[in-house]
């Protein structure tokens, strides 16, 4: 039988792996799209995310603590599974290549500018692959150990930069009309679709997940967008913040401890690498589950290797950063939103299909 983990451990895994996306990937696009209104976009989108999460939980509840893969196959057959599960595998593959690209770009800019980026990419992906090939246990335990430290560092940077922030810069709202605010909502919603990872993890929890836990996780993940977003606006102003490549990271450069200690932004590297490695490893793991669930353990290792290579390849080709960010800004979040809403709606419809005879459900 597959190993199970406590609900708290799995919550730590989701918060760390999905939260790093909210911190590093979503916020620059959100600030660029919505400017001063970005924080209000988050609050309003939160209401729609709650409605979406209710539907998601209904799907999880219908699985009755079974794995999503046999649950799908029993209702839509192997062909239907490859359409629905294959789309999810492609989504997690895209998640993986985005985190590999953004993390290695951050490390190259701030810490290793003279190191060939190919070296950074290969080292990062090898560590993520090493965690993924040993199974979910390694990923969960790393997340359980590192999340409290990451959280304490986040609270510390928020408190230590309080004197450098002017929260009056968050107002007035809607000075540029409503379109930036609406587009900011699309980015927040599209960036939160990663929460569907819960579908692939719920059966590995010791107890069936209740909606209260889903609501708390969603609220914390939205908070991980709201806090750094408001902090960036208050620290740098809407004009400067929207032009920063990694605004949450830049807040570490404002930290001064006493009279003589500054340049402590190396602590942000720990936050970045902890979250990014867990996220990349989780993407590889879920990819291998969806693609290679019916394969032998030996053949599945080739699927894991293939997933790691596919996630590294776009970054190794060294596309222009302006082009990548432009494509993500214009297309990725809108398509992600549409996919997430349609995907959960399809699964909700599938949950009403009677399973084939002979299926054993808990």
Angle, CA 249 vertex, CA 50 and CA 152 arms, to 5°: 70
pLDDT tens-digit series, residues 105-124? 999 998 899 999 999 999 99
pLDDT tens-digit series, residues 312-360? 999 999 999 999 999 999 999 999 999 999 999 999 999 999 887 655 4
CA 351 to chain CA centroid, nearest Å: 26
SS3 call for 5: strand
pLDDT tens-digit series, residues 147-166? 999 999 999 999 889 888 99
Q: What integer is the mean pLDDT of 118-136? A: 95
pLDDT of 195: 95
Tell me the pLDDT band of 361, cut-offs 50, 70 and 90: very low
**Burial of 244 (C-beta count, 10 Å sphere; 0-12/13-18/19+):** middle
pLDDT of 27: 95
pLDDT tens-digit series, residues 273-319? 999 999 999 999 999 999 987 778 788 899 999 999 999 999 999 99
CB neighbours of 243 closer than 8 A, spacing ≥ 6?
32
User: Which DSSP symbol is given to 172?
Assistant: S
Angle, CA 204 vertex, CA 298 and CA 147 arms, to 5°: 100
Angle, CA 126 vertex, CA 125 and CA 131 arms, to 5°: 95
Q: What share of the chain is helix, strand, coil (3-state, %, to 5)?
A: 80, 0, 20
Measured from the Cβ of residue 319, the count of other Cβ atoms closer than 10 Å reads 12
pLDDT of 261: 79
CB neighbours of 203 closer than 8 A, spacing ≥ 6?
2, 63, 65, 66, 67, 68
């Amino acid at each position: 039988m597959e190993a199970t983990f406590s609900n708290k451990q799995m919550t730590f895994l989701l918060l760390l792996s999905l939260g790093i996306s909210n911190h590093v990937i979503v916020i620059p696009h959100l600030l660029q799209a919505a400017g001063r209104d970005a924080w209000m976009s988050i609050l309003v989108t939160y209401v729609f995310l709650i409605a979406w999460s209710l539907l998601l939980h209904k799907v999880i509840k219908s699985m009755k603590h079974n794995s999503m893969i046999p649950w799908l196959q029993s209702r839509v057959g192997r062909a239907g599974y490859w359409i629905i599960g294959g789309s999810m595998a492609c989504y997690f593959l895209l998640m993986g290549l985005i985190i590999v690209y953004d993390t290695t770009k951050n490390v190259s800019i701030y810490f290793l500018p003279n190191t060939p980026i190919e070296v950074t990419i290969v080292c990062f992906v090898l560590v993520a692959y090493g965690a993924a090939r040993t199974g979910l246990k390694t990923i969960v335990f790393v997340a359980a150990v590192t999340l409290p430290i990451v959280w304490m560092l986040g609270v510390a940077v928020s408190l230590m930069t309080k004197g450098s922030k002017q929260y009056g810069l968050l107002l007035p709202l809607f000075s540029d009309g409503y379109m930036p605010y609406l587009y900011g909502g699309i980015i927040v919603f599209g960036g939160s679709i990663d929460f569907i990872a819960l579908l692939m993890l719920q059966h590995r929890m010791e107890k069936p997940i209740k909606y209260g836990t889903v609501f708390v996780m969603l609220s914390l993940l939205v908070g991980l967008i709201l806090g750094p977003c408001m902090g960036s606006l208050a620290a740098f102003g809407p004009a400067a913040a929207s032009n920063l490549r990694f605004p949450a990271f830049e807040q570490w450069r404002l930290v001064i401890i006493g009279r003589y200690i500054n340049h402590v932004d190396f602590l942000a590297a720990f936050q970045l690498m902890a979250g990014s490695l867990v996220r990349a490893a989780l993407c590889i793991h879920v990819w291998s589950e969806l693609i290679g669930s019916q394969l032998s353990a030996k053949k599945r290792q080739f699927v894991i290797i293939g997933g790691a290579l596919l996630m590294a390849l776009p970054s190794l080709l060294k596309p222009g950063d302006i082009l990548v960010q432009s494509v993500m800004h214009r297309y990725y979040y809108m398509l992600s939103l549409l996919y997430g809403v349609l995907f959960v709606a399809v699964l909700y419809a599938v949950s009403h299909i009677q399973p084939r005879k002979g299926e054993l459900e808990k």
